[in-house]
Chains A and B, each alone.
Chain A
């Protein structure tokens, strides 16, 4: 467990086999984990912001 909430294996598999670019896959996994831990509070927006920025940078680096 390592103190973190685990994302459902079924969902993880679907993300992995999707045709999405890697940064977007990672982004989706991260925001789902955010939902599992923080989603019900108002703090999600900063975490989302951070992850979108990360994904954007990785995508541009890839280009």
Chain B
């Protein structure tokens, strides 16, 4: 496997003088990490590589006259010259170098102090190994570079994390499809088959073209071609409609973003606002009711509280009357009153007015003044005991309960107020009707996208069916033609072409199927391990190399993935693509974790370690945001080299600092 061994940048953009990075070629320590703060020159390193390989800065293209480092530019005297040079060394290891690629251009400061690149001063050299293993200059450096690191598919090996989200748009899918057929050389199989079919016609002398069987197959083939053409036209129309639906869907998403959606579901937030407001109102009413009850309880109990001491005193007085024997009275006054009225005692003695006996009875009656109240006193004693021993303590218990419940409701209301305030922060400017309308339109466009995807898939299936039939009929036609050739030499040569065509067609189908299956499997593995979203059932790769994320009802839910999830999907897909391309090259990834939350970053790194075992990967990470302690911890066992790019204070340059991996 060819690996990056070193990169040297001389006076290239922020890098003054010679600045080098040595990459680890150890298959076990296959991660190289380059981290930097924003604007320090991290992405510039990727552009240096791209410029060296292709004379093109891919990530942040700028005019060529700005290539020279500013400090170097300032140092130049009038008439003086300086060179910008980038050199890449690649090989199996530091001791086994296979390629040295270098590109340089000279700058000159004119008399009017303007610094410009000297036209035609660019020199580009590629050293490759000859048959003896010596490094020699390649006759055609551009061809050599495109064999090592084909420009058409550079986006598959130099991943731009900031652009990954756009990876699945239509143009990129076409580009990826072309790239896949190029990497797997399926295009060349097709070309060879096509040329062989042309060629084999030269050997079909003496073939009776009027043979009805041969003609029958030709008619079938022509009919299949017509059907395929018709289906392709329908597909093109569907693709157009799909593109329109996608574009409309994206516009709605952009509009929602403008209204403050970002990763939030505005419709749900409005519903949440409504729910929280209703809960708050209900809690408010409950609190009012509780306060009213509490107040009424207090009012009802005030007399009891105020009279507590008097009640105690009364109870004690009554109890003392009973203890002293004063109560209950020996004689009841109402009984004595009856006797006096009757003027006769129960012993039969008469009690006329003024009599001595009557006066005795009257004296008894006067001695028991409380007796007529005895029932009431007895009742009162019981009531007093209940009030003092039961009602007063229970009053305090109930007060405690009221205060506790009021406090709890108060806390709940405070929480609801906070929740509502948080939601209103996002929803205060929103127009509910507008949001409802946007979400309805979004859902509608999603359904349209699903519908067109289904229709496109149906046509793709039918085209595959016709293509398959066509190949069979063509093979049978050639068999018949072969049998009809009388001249042995012609027949033998025709057979060579015929057998080769059959073989190439069969391996083309196998290759497409194998590569697609493996890409799908690896994308699925990497994505589902990193995302862990219960709605997601699996990732599918269509025949046109479009990535679909299926939910449990087998609908494509790609459009409803968050930006972080799309980033993980694109990363997973490109890594799978690269791995299955059969193309051996190192990978460079810029900003891979920027949109992904920390927990999922850990999962993604874990999955990357598994899928990219032994592949040299260079990560370009933003310090703090992407390159955190936990990321370092996850990766450290695999890190072979660690560099920091840092702006030098007070100077127009950045420096590259090598760190030890701890």
Residues of A within 8 A of B (CB): 1-3, 5-11, 14-15, 18, 20, 24, 27-28, 31-32, 34-36, 39-40, 44-45, 48-49, 52, 55-56, 59-60
Contact = CB atoms under 8 A, between A and B. Distances in A.
A10 B184 contact: yes
B396 interface: no
Contacts of A44: 195
A47 to B, nearest CB: 10
A18 B192 contact: no
8 contacts: A3-B130, A3-B138, A14-B510, A18-B503, A24-B499, A36-B188, A45-B199, A48-B195
A8 B195 contact: no
Contacts of A49: 199
Nearest to B2: A1
Contact of B184 (A8, A24, A28, A52): A8
B511 interface: yes
Contacts of A8: 183-185, 582
B500 interface: yes
A39 B489 contact: no
Interface stretch (B10-18, B112-120, B490-498, B592-600): B490-498
B130 A32 contact: no
Contacts of A18: 503, 507
Interface in B138-189: 138-139, 144, 147-148, 183-185, 188-189
Given A1-B144, A32-B192, A59 B492 contact: yes
Contacts of B130: 2-3
A1 B128 CA distance: 7
A36 B189 CA distance: 10
Please classify how large the interface on chain B is, using the bins under 10, 10 to 19, 20 to 34, 35 or more. 35 or more
B384 to A, nearest CB: 103
Nearest to B583: A8
Contacts of B138: 3
A24 B148 CA distance: 29
Contact of B147 (A5, A24, A34, A40): A5
Given A2-B131, A20-B503, A24-B500, A32 B489 contact: no
B126 to A, nearest CB: 10
B582 A10 contact: yes
Contacts of A55: 496
Interface of B: 98-99, 128-131, 138-139, 144, 147-148, 183-185, 188-189, 191-192, 195-196, 199, 489, 492-493, 496-497, 499-500, 503-504, 507, 510-511, 514, 582
Given A11-B189, A28-B504, A52 B147 contact: no
A59 to B, nearest CB: 7
Contacts of A34: 192
Contacts of A59: 492, 496
Nearest to A37: B143
A27 B191 contact: no
B582 A52 contact: no
Contacts of A11: 185, 189, 507, 511
A27 B199 contact: no
Nearest to B128: A1
B566 to A, nearest CB: 30
Contact of A14 (B144, B148, B507): B507
A28 B148 CA distance: 24
Given A1-B128, A2-B129, A52-B497, A35 B504 contact: no
Nearest to A33: B188
B182 to A, nearest CB: 10
A1 to B, nearest CB: 5
Contacts of B128: 1-3
A12 B633 CA distance: 41
B500 A7 contact: no
A1 B199 contact: no
A40 B504 CA distance: 18
Report the 4 A-B pairs with minimum CB-CB distance, sorted nearest first. Answer: A35-B188, A8-B185, A14-B507, A10-B582
A36 B511 CA distance: 17
B196 A32 contact: no
A11 B492 CA distance: 25
A56 B503 contact: no
A11 B507 CA distance: 8
B500 A28 contact: yes
Contact of B511 (A10, A20, A32, A40): A10
The residue among B98, B139, B184, B191 with the most chain A CB atoms within 10 A of its own CB is B191
B185 A27 contact: no
B499 to A, nearest CB: 6
A11 B510 CA distance: 10
B496 A52 contact: yes
Contacts of A2: 128-131
Contacts of A20: 499, 503
A1 B500 contact: no
The residue among A10, A40, A48 with the most chain B CB atoms within 10 A of its own CB is A10
